[in-house]
Amino acid sequence: MSTAAPVALSLTINGQIYVTSAEALRHARTTGQVVAGCYKRDRCGVRLYGLDGEPFAYIRFDRFDSWFVSCSRLDGRVRYMFALSDRDTKRLGFDPSAEDTWRRKRDVAAAVCRQVAAYEQSVAA
């Protein structure tokens, strides 16, 4: 019987990989894996961090929907916007001028929610 710990989840958003922690980010850099940043799960969603270690986006999980918002650190606290800025939209690989951007962001946020839920179920089993 194997007692190996489950492999930590990497999130993929529009082909960009986000690993679980700053330590995993350092490991990915040493192995040559191309990653866009790391993430941290909390009770309401997932906060995305860039390679500089600063938060820039948050994926809010709700019972009925999931969505992206921009966030940033100000005076030691993370502050959240009501939506995703154009700069962060581009950073996540979306085209802010496309007509279907809102729908695509919503679909990708829902896919991330499913990735996280599937991983959490596998760990709990």
Domain spans of the chain, in order of start: 40-119
pLDDT tens profile 10-58: 899 999 999 988 788 888 878 888 899 999 999 999 999 999 999 999 9
pTM: 0.88
Do residues 45 and 59 touch, judged by C-beta distance below 8 A? yes
pLDDT for position 2: 44
State whether residue 108 is helix, strand or coil. helix
pLDDT for position 57: 98
Rounded Cα distance, 2 and 37, in Å: 31
φ and ψ at residue 97, rounded to 5 degrees:
-95, -5
Identify the bridge partners of residue 68 per DSSP, sorted by sequence position: 59
pLDDT tens profile 108-119: 999 999 999 999
Q: 122 Cβ partners below 8 Å, 6+ apart?
A: 6
